[in-house]
Structure 1
């Protein structure tokens, strides 16, 4: 768990997960290691309980590909808001079409959504579309690595906030 590694290096760690089981697991693991961290059950698409520009680093621990449709834009908007101006966003996400026949049969290439039992399960966009989606939310790609797997690929993407466009001087007469 990335948060464990950050805490071992002395960083203050906060975590959000929609699953109470995952939050309890993280709390237990930290306690067993003598580490401190603040873990909350919540929705990564609504981080209203965190003030603006709170975090220097935001690490997505393989959550982003679990978001479907408008959840993705809402999450990126929330992350942009809580990330400090010179902060770093790290996204760890499945990407590209599935490589196994059983998964390909359940994959909608147009939307990039993999279905399970008739319900959206994961978003698997092609790498270039994933990069563009995050860039369109106001982030600038500064690094990337792709782990090629037999079932689907997994990208680690590193972003900074994109510089704001300059404000043009306006004269009022």
Structure 2
């Protein structure tokens, strides 16, 4: 069991139904009262190149025909984590010229 799990920009690389599995496993290994720090791309891309590779229907960047990065809205990322059983602690959204980035701190009740 861990007191802290840090997502070092990995969660946005998990696509589809596997996201719920990953979040469930992360929750499982965090001690009650422990924390989960998420660092994730979010929102639609802003750069010309990234917009060209973005599928808005599935909210993913596509590389070589395969979804490679999931880019939910900040609000939907928070809701996804709450649905996985975490409690919201804080969030910091960095707006960038290529895409936005969310630092999200969650607690395991």
Q: TM-score, normalised by structure 1?
A: 0.61
Q: Counterpart in 2 of 1:109?
A: 56
> Is 1:118 matched with 2:65?
yes
SS at match of 1:138: coil
RMSD between superposed Cα atoms in Å: 1.0
Name the count of aligned residue pairs: 109
> Is 1:151 matched with 2:85?
no
Q: TM-score, normalised by structure 2?
A: 0.95
Picking from 20, 26, 30, the partner of 1:79 is 26
- Stretch moving more, 134-143 or 105-114: 105-114
Q: 4+ residue runs of structure 1 moved beyond 2 angstroms?
A: none
Gaps of 5+ in 2: none
SS at match of 2:96: coil
Picking from 90, 101, 106, the partner of 2:37 is 90
Alignment of 1:58-69 (within 5 A): 58-69=5-16
Task: State the alpha-carbon separation in 2 of the partners of residues 98 and 158 from structure 1.
Answer: 23
- Relative contact order: is structure 1 or structure 2 higher (C-alpha 8 Å, sep ≥ 6)? 2
Task: State the alpha-carbon separation in 1 of the partners of residues 82 and 57 from structure 2.
Answer: 20
SS at match of 2:77: helix
Q: Counterpart in 2 of 1:167?
A: none
Query: Which structure has the highest strand share of the two?
Result: 2
Q: Counterpart in 2 of 1:100?
A: 47
Gaps of 5+ in 1: 1-53, 163-173
> Is 1:55 matched with 2:12?
no
Task: State the alpha-carbon separation in 2 of the partners of residues 110 and 139 from structure 1.
Answer: 27
Task: State the alpha-carbon separation in 2 of the partners of residues 117 and 159 from structure 1.
Answer: 34
